[in-house]
């Protein structure tokens, strides 16, 4: 049984701790949170002991650390876990600074420890199946990928101020997905952004509506569109076009029930937000990490994937601000 220390008992920490506890292959030995009641409640639920971050990192009876604290703590907690020889699964992003990520990855590399980054969409059953079919050659040579990602409602402007902005906070998932689907690095990024949903988001120096075009060295193109609002729920779709055809994965609805009348066909709403839509993806992600660490397999997505997605998010932010395409090293 793999013994976890979980850092952070907030929205995503709860989801991951419950997966570990239900896995039958691992358990949450210790749990830490800056708010003692948050730690105590989740620890009681998953059968863990409450401890400090420092004690968890040092604990001899902890094999792996799951980091679900706010972003500014990720890099230092990855380094602490790695220096103590633990395998680490860290929520995205590693850091909002590319330099800080590079520094952190050097520590992990030096220690030769395991680091996986929580880009959960790679583990979504629909998107994962689509990617497998690309690799099997179902659409021949891939030429274009289109990713649509819209939140049901905008976050508070206060959240936006400390988030790093839409490209680093929200689009980072789609930037990683684009790399995952095309299997190549992007060399050019061109972004447009507006605040059309909430003026306060614009006043906070961010955008709530954005489109990005990216191109690989071989000429393949990815198009990503994001909005912080969709009247009909959490809109998550992919289309990949290639020399032999097209693959697409649509939204997942609450049920498959349809009502047909003279006015047309009507289905149920789509799954409301990320905890509902990606519930299975989060579980698959944690189970893949447990399997990799237990059986000595390579983890994916890696720290390098975290770094590349951040470089693309920085390039998109720069391109939106300058109005010019940006080259990515
Ligand atoms: N992959 C995804 O889809 C996804 C979804 C949500 C959040 N996230 C990421 O997960 C991280 C956490 O987000 P969240 O929405 O769960 O936030 P949250 O605010 O709900 O939870 C964070 C928790 O960490 C605790 N905390 C704060 N500082 C701490 C510290 N130094 N040590 C221990 N605990 C501390 C807080 O008290 C809180 O309970 C963020 O980096 C976010 O980007 C990823």
Give me the sheet containing 49-50, strands edge to edge: 49-50, 26-32, 2-7, 64-67, 87-91, 115-118
What is the SS3 assignment for the chain?
CEEEEEECCCHHHHHHHHHHHHCCCEEEEEEECCCHHHHHHHHHHHCCEECCHHHHHHCCCCCEEEECCCHHHHHHHHHHHHHCCCEEEEECCCCCCHHHHHHHHHHHHHHCCCEEEECHHHHCHHHHHHHHHHHCCCCCCEEEEEEEEECCCCCCHHHHHHHCCHHHHCHHHHHHHHHHHHCCCEEEEEEEEECCCCHHHHHCCCCCEEEEEEEECCCCEEEEEEECCCCCCCEEEEEEEECCEEEEECCCECCCCEEEECCEEEECCECCCHHHHCHHHHHHHHHHHHHHHHHCCCCCCEHHHHHHHHHHHHHHHHHHHHCCCEECC
Q: Determine the Cα–Cα distance for residues 263 and 23; give it in Å rounded to an integer.
A: 46
How many Å lie between the centroid of ligand 1 and the Cα of residue 69?
4
Q: Which of 12, 16, 169, 286 to mutate to test ligand 1, by most ligand atoms within 8 A of the CB atom? A: 12
Q: Determine the Cα–Cα distance for residues 53 and 66; give it in Å rounded to an integer.
A: 11
* pLDDT confidence tier of residue 288, bands split at 50, 70 and 90: very high
Write out pLDDT tens, residues 149-198.
999 999 988 888 889 999 999 999 999 999 999 999 999 999 999 999 99
Give the model's pLDDT for residue 99. 97
Considering only CA atoms, which residue is closest to atom 19 of ligand 1? 10
How many Å lie between the centroid of ligand 1 and the Cα of residue 142?
36
- Indicate whether residue 36 lines ligand 1 (CB < 6 A): no
Give the model's pLDDT for residue 326. 98
Give the model's pLDDT for residue 93. 94
How many Å lie between the centroid of ligand 1 and the Cα of residue 33?
10
Atom number in ligand 1 closest to CA 274: 3
C-beta of residue 313 within 8 angstroms of C-beta of residue 167: yes
State mean pLDDT over 208-214: 98
Write out pLDDT tens, residues 290-312.
999 999 999 999 999 999 999 99
- Indicate whether residue 118 lines ligand 1 (CB < 6 A): yes
2-113 and 122-281+308-327 agree in CATH topology = no
State mean pLDDT over 25-54: 98
State mean pLDDT over 279-299: 97
Q: Report the predicted TM-score, pTM, of the whole model to 2 decimal places.
A: 0.96
Count of residues for the chain?
329
How many Å lie between the centroid of ligand 1 and the Cα of residue 294?
26
Q: Which residue has the tokens 């708010």?
A: 35
- Indicate whether residue 40 lines ligand 1 (CB < 6 A): no
Give the model's pLDDT for residue 55. 98
C-beta of residue 168 within 8 angstroms of C-beta of residue 101: no
Instruction: List the one residue out of 263, 267, 240 whose CA is nearest residue 251.
Output: 267
- How do beta strands 209-216 and 186-194 pair? antiparallel
Average pLDDT score over the chain: 97
Give the model's pLDDT for residue 161. 86
Q: Which of 5, 8, 19, 66 to mutate to test ligand 1, by most ligand atoms within 8 A of the CB atom? A: 8
- Count other C-beta atoms under 10 Å from residue 128's C-beta: 16
Write out pLDDT tens, residues 228-273.
999 999 999 999 999 999 999 999 999 999 999 999 999 999 999 9
Read off φ and ψ for residue 143, nearest 5 degrees: -115, -35
* pLDDT confidence tier of residue 15, bands split at 50, 70 and 90: very high
Give the model's pLDDT for residue 329. 84
Write out pLDDT tens, residues 68-115.
999 999 999 999 999 999 999 999 999 999 999 999 999 999 999 999
- Indicate whether residue 33 lines ligand 1 (CB < 6 A): yes
How many Å lie between the centroid of ligand 1 and the Cα of residue 240?
32
Atom number in ligand 1 closest to CA 10: 21
| The token pair that represents 109 in the structure block | 């590399």
- Indicate whether residue 10 lines ligand 1 (CB < 6 A): yes
Write out pLDDT tens, residues 43-75.
999 999 999 999 999 999 999 999 999 999 999
Domain boundaries of the chain, sorted by first residue: 2-113, 122-281+308-327
- Indicate whether residue 95 lines ligand 1 (CB < 6 A): no
CATH of 2-113, one of 3.90.1150.10, 2.60.120.380, 3.40.720.10, 3.40.50.720: 3.40.50.720
CATH superfamily membership of 122-281+308-327 = Dihydrodipicolinate Reductase; domain 2 (3.30.360.10)
- Indicate whether residue 7 lines ligand 1 (CB < 6 A): yes
Q: Which of 69, 119, 172 to mutate to test ligand 1, by most ligand atoms within 8 A of the CB atom? A: 69
């Amino acid at each position: 049984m793999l013994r976890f220390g979980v850092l952070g008992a907030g929205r995503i920490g709860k989801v991951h701790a419950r997966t570990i506890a239900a896995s039958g292959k691992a358990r949450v030995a210790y749990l830490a949170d800056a708010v003692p009641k948050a730690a105590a409640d989740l620890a009681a639920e998953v059968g863990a002991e409450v401890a400090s971050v420092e004690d968890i990192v040092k604990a001899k009876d902890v094999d792996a650390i799951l980091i679900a604290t706010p972003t500014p703590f990720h890099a230092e907690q990855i380094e602490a876990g790695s220096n103590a020889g633990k395998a680490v699964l860290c929520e995205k992003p590693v850091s909002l600074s590319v330099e800080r990520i590079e520094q952190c990855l050097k520590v992990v590399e030096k220690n030769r420890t395991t680091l996986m980054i929580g880009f959960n969409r790679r583990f979504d059953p629909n998107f994962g199946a689509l990617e497998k079919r690309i690799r099997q050659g179902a659409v021949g040579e891939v030429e274009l990928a289109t990713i649509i990602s819209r939140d049901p409602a905008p976050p508070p402007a206060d959240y936006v101020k400390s988030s790093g902005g839409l490209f680093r906070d929200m689009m980072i998932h789609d930037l990683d997905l684009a790399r995952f689907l095309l299997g190549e690095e992007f060399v050019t990024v061109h972004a447009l952004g507006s605040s059309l949903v909430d003026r306060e988001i614009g006043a906070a120096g961010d955008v709530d509506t954005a489109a990005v075009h990216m191109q690989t060295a071989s000429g393949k193109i990815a198009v990503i569109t994001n909005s912080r609002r969709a009247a009909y729920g959490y809109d998550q779709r992919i289309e990949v076009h290639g020399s032999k055809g097209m693959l697409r994965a649509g939204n997942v609805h609450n049920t498959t029930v349809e009502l047909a009348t003279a006015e047309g066909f009507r289905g149920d709403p789509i799954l409301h937000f990320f905890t509902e839509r990606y519930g299975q993806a989060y579980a698959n992600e944690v189970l893949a990490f447990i399997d990799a660490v237990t059986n000595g397999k390579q983890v994916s997505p890696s720290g390098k994937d975290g770094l590349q997605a951040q470089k693309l998010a920085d390039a998109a932010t720069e391109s939106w601000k300058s109005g010019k395409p940006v080259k990515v090293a």
